[in-house]
Amino acid sequence: MSLINFIKCGSDDQLFFLGDLIDRGDRSADVVSWVKDNGHTCLRGNHEQMCLDAFNSNQGSLVWKGWLLNGGANTLESYGDEGIPQDHLDWMRQLPLFVDLGDTWLVHAGLNPNLPLELQGAAEFCWIREEFHSATQPFFEDKIIITGHTITFVFPNVKPGNLVLGKGWLDIDTGGYHPKSGWLSALDLDSATVYQCNTFTNELRVNTLADITTVIEPVMTRSQRQELAKPNAQKRRWSWV
């Protein structure tokens, strides 16, 4: 709530959450309740998807155990002995996979640049990484894709807390739960301003989008790196051109 209070949203402002409200800390239940009860728009992240998949499987299954190991145990603990109520599960189930704002397209993870949009679903929108980040051309000609999912400091030469601009996309997940960063970020689309709160130190700061964004070249996929490592493989030049 420190970041929400820092932003000081007006009555006409809209808040959009990019998913992964759960599995990151001991207050998942409170976070879901606040976003849900206040009617804010939230996308489905891979952690909401894992939770839904777990509840659609048997306890003790690999799916259930996988969710518990990836933060699900903390989420269940935050709900106490009563467990996750059905209305919270129903709310997660109806979360959109993306939101189109005209010149801005919001999604949790990204999309597959090699598939038409209508053939993509939760597997791409909630989970994708390498194929999306390796794209050398924007997916949309007239809009920027804003994502979370991948912590920005995992990209080469990106300082913890900085946002990352790729080819047609902007990643704003600065790793609020991660001890290497701790920065939780909110982007004001109208003013191109980034508000941040450090979850470990409680430090608050505000920057222009340009000042706190690192521009990167496309990141090669694992298969591309393996191909490049083969003897006599042709070197591949990556650029924005």
Domain CATH for 76 = 3.60.21.10
What are the tens digits of pLDDT across the range 191-203? 999 999 999 999 9
User: How far out from the chain centre does Cα 84 lie?
Assistant: 22
Q: How far, in Å, CA of 226 to CA of 233, rounded?
A: 10
Whether residue 233 is contained in a domain is answered as no
163 beta partners: 213
Please tell me the predicted confidence (pLDDT) of residue 194.
98
48, part of any domain: yes
The pLDDT tens digits for 92-143 are 999 999 999 999 999 999 999 999 999 999 999 999 999 999 999 999 999 9
What is the model's pTM? 0.90
In a domain, 164, yes or no: no
What distance in Å separates the CA atoms of residue 175 and residue 53, rounded to the nearest whole number?
Answer: 24
How many structural domains does the chain have? 1
DSSP H stretches of helix in 94-177: 122-125, 130-133
Question: Would 54 be classed as within a structural domain?
Answer: yes
Q: Answer with the residue of higher pLDDT: 42 or 12.
A: 42
For position 241, what pLDDT does the model report?
24
> Whole-number mean pLDDT of the chain?
93
Q: What per-residue confidence (pLDDT) applies to 233?
A: 55
**Per-residue pLDDT at 163:** 98
- Domain range holding 58? 14-96
